[in-house]
Amino acid sequence: MTAARPTPSDARTDPTVRWGPIAGAAACVATVAYAYAASPPAVRAQTAATRLAIVAIPLAVAVVQLRRRPADRFAQLLLAAALLLPLTTLAVSGDAVPYSIGRTAVWAVEPALVYLLLAFPAGRLETTSARAVFWTVAGVAGLLYLPTALLVDHFPEPSPWGTCGVSCPPNALSVVASEPAIVEDVVRPVREALTAALFLVAAGVLAVRARRAVPLGRWALAPVLATAIVRAVTLAAYDVMRRRGAVSPAGDAVGTLFLLSLPLIALGFAAGLVGARLAAATALERLSRHAFAGAGVEGLRNQLADALGDPRVRIAYRAPGEPDRWVDETGWPLPPLVPTPSRGVTRVSASGREVAIEHDELLLLEPEVVEGTAAYALEIAENRRLVAEGEARLRELEASRARILTVGDEARQRIERDLHDGAQQRLVAVRAALGLESARIGDEAPELRALLDRLGDEIELTIDEVRSIARGLYPSVLADYGLVAALRAAGQAAPIAVRVDADGVGRYAPHIETTTYLVCVEALQNAVKHADGATGVWISLVDDGRMHFDVVDDGAGFDPGAVASGTGLLNLHDRATALGGVIAIQSAPGRGTRVAGAIPLKRPSPAATADGAAA
């Protein structure tokens, strides 16, 4: 089976997985050390802990996910963003240059954060609305935030990113003698309103994705959506409070919550990943219940749709020997499945066969689920193919055995006719000639006449033996008058009483009549030879779409487990099973013996199989 995921050894040797934790640890140490040293003594511990949470939690989420999947694009982006967050710690400094660099770096956080929110979990913007929101946020940052770093005397105060309140250092990046009034009066309120509004729009885009997503996607997106709403609300509330000047204790709490919304969103990513894993386990459980209950190709798509929670799922099988031809579960041709921004395609191959499943792209968050369902679909199709091949071979075998029986019966009929019309007639002619010769001689040669009479008697015995052999091969009464007449004739010749009952039994194909006759006669002869104390045998025939036969004697019976089966009944068992029939022997000491069975009167026609992988 194909496998696209790295092995654990691959994860350990991947550069990102290997060096990411080291770089993250260094970033955390640097962040804590700088925040503690640059902050006022009264808030050093609080500031260091807050900055550590801002950097360490996104790093931890990214590293854990990368250890699971080194190629995870979103985890790589989250790791890169977390490694850049220490720059914002410079905003706690009381020196103008690092403070200005830190405050400017803060303005790059919003576009990066919006990108991460809208790109979760694939690591790329896959819808037009997501791209429009991100580029609008990036435009606001590039046009209304970053250029003002060169125009203002002071950055907006107070700020949750710094510890200086309303007495912060001047902007060391300013290149003008005085700040243009338009920045404070127009640009700042417009950009702050746009930022809060666009963050709410981004949360709305996430909400739409979650509503339309499969259950696994909703489990993944719901925590991220909740944290995005928290950040949007706290951002808008803090901007309103800051416009009033000095921030109250409630405003400080809102600012702290806004600052901590960064690690909170990272925790939302982690909760989404864990939720996706739980949903994946639920999907696999549903799929295993289908597998336990048994499944066929015809209802497979509905089963996968139920397990994955995706009613639009499609399955395509590569037609054997035709690499460019795909068919659905019914064998109907399909165009090749290709991924789209909202739909993913997972392919699995095994033993030269391949299946492709089109599904919601959010299911790729846990590719094992889709690969498991694809492997399940392939297994069901392969099982159906093997069953169809087995049934076809079984039908061929049964047809071959039936043809062999027919040929054998026809050969016995020919031998019987040859004995009756050839050897027997010649012996009858010789006997008549001997009788004529004996009569002609008369009393002239009594010794010769006595010899001819003895030869005639021997020929009579030979004729009887030939007739017995011919009847044993294929009784002429069976061919001429049918099964019931032949069994009654055999019963009349038996030394014990035989009763033959037939309910609606007429004439049938030669192989049906021959097999039924031979089974019943073999059971009758066994009763005569081996059933101690048997005084009678009852033979019953019933036609109800199958030829049911039942031969019961009133002998002493026996223990079937203590007696080896003879070759006679074993051969008859083979004859019956060759025609799709069954034979059973029931006996017990003191209860007689019963030989019963049934033979289908019509052979089932081979079932047509669907073209393509479903067959």
Domain boundaries, the chain: 12-281, 294-391, 482-615
- b/e sequence 383-400, b meaning 16+ C-beta within 10 Å: ebbeeeeeeeeebeebee
List of the chain residues with pLDDT < 50:
1-9, 292-293, 604-615
Burial of 348 (0-12, 13-18, 19+ CB in 10 A): buried
Residues 6 or more apart from 299 whose CB is under 8 A from it?
none
What six digits make up the tokens of 450?
């006595």
Per-residue confidence (pLDDT) for residue 436, from 0 to 100: 79
Per-residue confidence (pLDDT) for residue 8, from 0 to 100: 47
How many angstroms separate the CA atoms of 489 and 477, rounded?
8
Per-residue confidence (pLDDT) for residue 610, from 0 to 100: 34
Write the CA distances from 329 to 73, 314, 355, 378, 409, integer angstroms. 34, 9, 10, 10, 45
SS3 category, 444: coil
Q: 410: left (phi > 0), else alpha (psi -120 to 50), else beta?
A: alpha
The alpha-carbon radius of gyration of the chain (Å, integer) is: 47
Per-residue confidence (pLDDT) for residue 225, from 0 to 100: 92
Q: How many CA atoms lie within 13 A of 322 on its CB side?
A: 13
Phi–psi pair at 355, nearest 5 degrees = -130, 145
Closest CA relative to residue 198, chosen from 272, 113, 276: 113
Query: What is the pairing mode between strands 314-318 and 536-543?
Result: unpaired
Per-residue confidence (pLDDT) for residue 404, from 0 to 100: 66
Q: What fold characterizes domain 12-281?
A: Rhopdopsin 7-helix transmembrane proteins (1.20.1070)
SS3 category, 247: coil
Measured at the alpha carbon of residue 347, what is the angle toward residues 374 and 14, in degrees to the nearest 5?
Answer: 110
Q: What fold characterizes domain 482-615?
A: Heat Shock Protein 90 (3.30.565)
Measured at the alpha carbon of residue 397, what is the angle toward residues 392 and 401, in degrees to the nearest 5?
Answer: 150
pTM tops 0.75: no
Per-residue confidence (pLDDT) for residue 403, from 0 to 100: 66
